Amino acid sequence: MGDKLLEIKNLITSFRIGDHYYAAVDNVSLTVNKNEVLGIVGESGSGKSALAFSVMGLHTKAKIEGSILFNGKDIVSLPKSELNGLRGDDMSMIFQDPLTALNPLMEIGAQISETLILHRPQMSLKERKDHVIELLNMVGIPRPEYVYEQFPHELSGGMRQRVIIAIAIANRPELLIADEPTTALDVTIQAQILDLVRKLKSEMGSGVILITHDLGVVAEMADRVAVMYAGQVVEIADVQTLFNNPKHPYTRSLLNSVPAEGQDKLHVIQGIVPALQNLPREGCRFAERIPWIESNTHEKDPVLHEISPGHFVRCTCYKHFYFPEEPKEAKVYGNTRG
């Protein structure tokens, strides 16, 4: 690790609502190394997909500021033709919904071939077909020759998601973005798909951005984790640190809201992520959801603090945070875990 593949610097992605632009990704800086899975977690509306689509250059109406360096080259200002050359080749994305991501009128083999025709035009027909069959094998699709000629509706959800992955990896991308890749699948298929992503990372040495609201998936898959809230990264750390020694009140609230061994009470996070145009833009954005924490514990203009090497936490309120349902003596979380 340590070999930088993607470097996002001060990224601001804003959408126009009425007469104003509102930042859905608000000054985010992140890196992804080769052969690394960066997990991005946060509730719905925290800006995860807006961030991923910015990296892929898939926003047509948004205003993008900052820089996204892919192998050292800024892709924000890249001409469309060059970006099209990268997309599906050096970087690709697995989308949430396997049915809508496939063309219902096109056979599976032809759909996978499309990306090869685009990026590997020199391949002969035979080479292309062989490669597609190899890809179908690689993603664990039984009877690939048969599936090659099937339509998407003839496959189960898990098989369709494997086809999506086959398309995404057809050109051995250096960067793979998986946006909730298993949300639509049942648990056993989920595990198989995650295994597959893991295998691809180790076999191809790709960098992976894994977006999910499922902390279990992150714990299993990610090397490092960024927690996003209201468009900002509020905490980032390697996966062990994040799970054993979480600091930001939002991270702790997320972790405490899923059942864990030996835990008899779950924490319910108050409220929801506000709509984009109503996001608090000043002070600690999470403050309104932890109203029992004294307001003077929040920074006026919260920044990320590196509290140990590679472990960053936004705002100083984490030092004073406790869960209202906790007994008083357990109020300092760091003393009870990790």
Ligand X SMILES: Nc1ncnc2c1ncn2[C@@H]1O[C@H](COP(=O)(O)OP(=O)(O)OP(=O)(O)O)[C@@H](O)[C@H]1O
Binding site for ligand X (CB under 6 A): 15, 17, 24, 42, 44-50, 213, 275-276
Q: Where are the beta strands (DSSP E) in 18-72?
A: 20-33, 37-41, 63-70
The phi, psi pair for 156, rounded to 5°, reads -75, 170
Q: How far apart are CB 203 and ligand X at their closest, in Å?
A: 28
Residue among 129 and 213 whose Cβ is closer to ligand X: 213
Those residues whose C-beta lies under 8 Å from the C-beta of residue 19, and which sit 6 or more positions away, are none
Residue among 264 and 282 whose Cβ is closer to ligand X: 282
Give the whole-angstrom CA distance, residue 203 versus residue 131: 17
Q: What is the 3-state secondary structure (H, E, C) of 284-309?
A: CCCHHHCCCCCHHHCCCCCCEEEEEC
- Collapsing DSSP to helix, strand or coil, 42 comes out as coil
Residue among 39 and 42 whose Cβ is closer to ligand X: 42
Residue among 21 and 323 whose Cβ is closer to ligand X: 21
Residue among 49 and 92 whose Cβ is closer to ligand X: 49
Provide the residue type at 285 as one letter: R
Q: Which helix (H) or strand (E) holds 94?
A: strand 91-94
Count other Cβ atoms within 10 Å, centred on residue 245: 16
Q: How far apart are CB 336 and ligand X at their closest, in Å?
A: 29
Q: Which helix (H) or strand (E) holds 18?
A: none
What tokens does 74 get?
A: 């800024």
Residue among 112 and 226 whose Cβ is closer to ligand X: 226
Q: Which helix (H) or strand (E) holds 249?
A: helix 249-256
Q: How far apart are CB 286 and ligand X at their closest, in Å?
A: 15
Q: How far apart are CB 63 and ligand X at their closest, in Å?
A: 11
Pairing mode of beta strands 63-70, 73-74: antiparallel
The phi, psi pair for 133, rounded to 5°, reads -60, -40
Residue among 44 and 122 whose Cβ is closer to ligand X: 44
Q: How far apart are CB 17 and ligand X at their closest, in Å?
A: 6
Residue among 58 and 332 whose Cβ is closer to ligand X: 58
Q: How far apart are CB 157 and ligand X at their closest, in Å?
A: 19
Q: How far apart are CB 50 and ligand X at their closest, in Å?
A: 3
Give the whole-angstrom CA distance, residue 15 versus residue 232: 15
What tokens does 98 get?
A: 């396997």
Contact by Cβ (8 Å): 92, 177 = yes
Residue among 42 and 158 whose Cβ is closer to ligand X: 42
Count other Cβ atoms within 10 Å, centred on residue 55: 22
Q: How far apart are CB 117 and ligand X at their closest, in Å?
A: 30
Query: Interior CA angle at 312 toward 236 and 295, to 5°?
Result: 110
Q: How far apart are CB 59 and ligand X at their closest, in Å?
A: 7
